[in-house]
Amino acid sequence: MAAPGEAPERRPFGRRFLTDPARLFQHNAWDNVEWSEEQEASARSKVQENSSQLLPQDKQEEYEVNAKRYWDDFYKIHENGFFKDRHWLFTEFPELAPNRNSSQNGDSVHEFSNKEECNNEGLGSCENGHCSWETRAENRLNLIKSIPKICTEELATQKYGELNQSDGDYPGSSASYRILEVGCGAGNTVFPILQTNNDPGLFVYCCDFSTTAVDLVQNNVEYDSSRCFAFVHDLCNDQSPFPMPDESLDVVILIFVLSAILPEKMQCIVNRLSRLLKPGGMILLRDYGRYDLAQLRFKKGQCLSDNFYVRGDGTRVYFFTQDELDDLFTTAGLEKIQNLVDRRLQVNRGKQMTMYRVWIQCKYRKPAALSR
């Protein structure tokens, strides 16, 4: 959200004002819903109430130390059934589509398909604090075969260190367009990209903190090691190497990922990711916004710090403002292409429930190298 007194950046299509309650149950969703002052005040009051009691410091440290185990447990329970493939990606982020003819400006934003959105960021699927968020060339080293199915941090450090010292030999080194998804989960972003984008020069990297999640990706029938490399990676460990060198990526994708990280570690992570981008490369982000339904549903005793909570399953989530994200990216040396709030009303007609979702979508670009 914008700073007090500043008009928030919004989608270019029309605003929807809610004046007739009977209309609420005739449609699944409204885009770009205008909040009243009373509604925003009510949301602010709920957040003040649910954050009035912070967890003790020793408990907070426990959640940080055991973060990997909590996410492993999450994917063991849900496997790949919790999420739906994000086919809306190519509408919101045309940089991922085959022709990549994005105008790369903040006005080129299109409306989500309500059907896809309801499947993804979830009509009423807010359980346990989770709201369903939501190349062709073989590599010369054939790294996929030389590393075990699950690439542990220790093995990754050794293998990637060796590769980075060799001259240009790394997974996807022969590709002309490289995408990295951070926090890939069960692959619900990666596989739509691989299915939709048949560019022979495309190579997609994907990583996750959870070994279980990476296992799900690698065992998916759609996983193609000639076009994709999935690996375990701890973003918070700055000694944990990436399998590609700096300034080698065209796109980094962060979808409901940065919010799961301890707030004081976010800047270091964004700095690291920005170094991976080629000049002109972009970070694409979609994440939870302040006063989203998921934030308002937390109870007392689940708050870790301002706007940062722990779910019942031990995973954590932060709720951003536009300014906070802008500070993170611009401090990392990136320039803003897009930073908007997507406020949406979703209706579960069966349960006669109305749900107000708030997401933030960003595109930030690494400045092109200065011509000499």
Top-confidence residue, 141 or 15: 15
Across 185-189, 264-268, 342-346, 351-355, the highest mean pLDDT is recorded for 264-268
What whole-number distance in Å separates Cα of residue 322 and Cα of residue 211? Answer: 31
Instruction: List, in sequence order, every beta strand (DSSP E) within 89-219.
Output: 126-127, 130-131, 177-182, 202-208
pLDDT in tens, 349-360: 666 677 789 999
pLDDT of residue 286: 95
pLDDT of residue 372: 44
Mean pLDDT of 271-294: 96
The CATH code of domain 26-96+170-365 reads: 3.40.50.150
Q: Does pLDDT of 77 surpass 80?
A: no
Q: Is the pTM of this model over 0.95?
A: no
Mapped onto helix, strand or coil, the DSSP state of residue 233 is coil
pLDDT of residue 79: 61
Residue type, 179: I
The answer to whether residues 352 and 346 touch, using CB atoms and an 8 Å cutoff, is: no
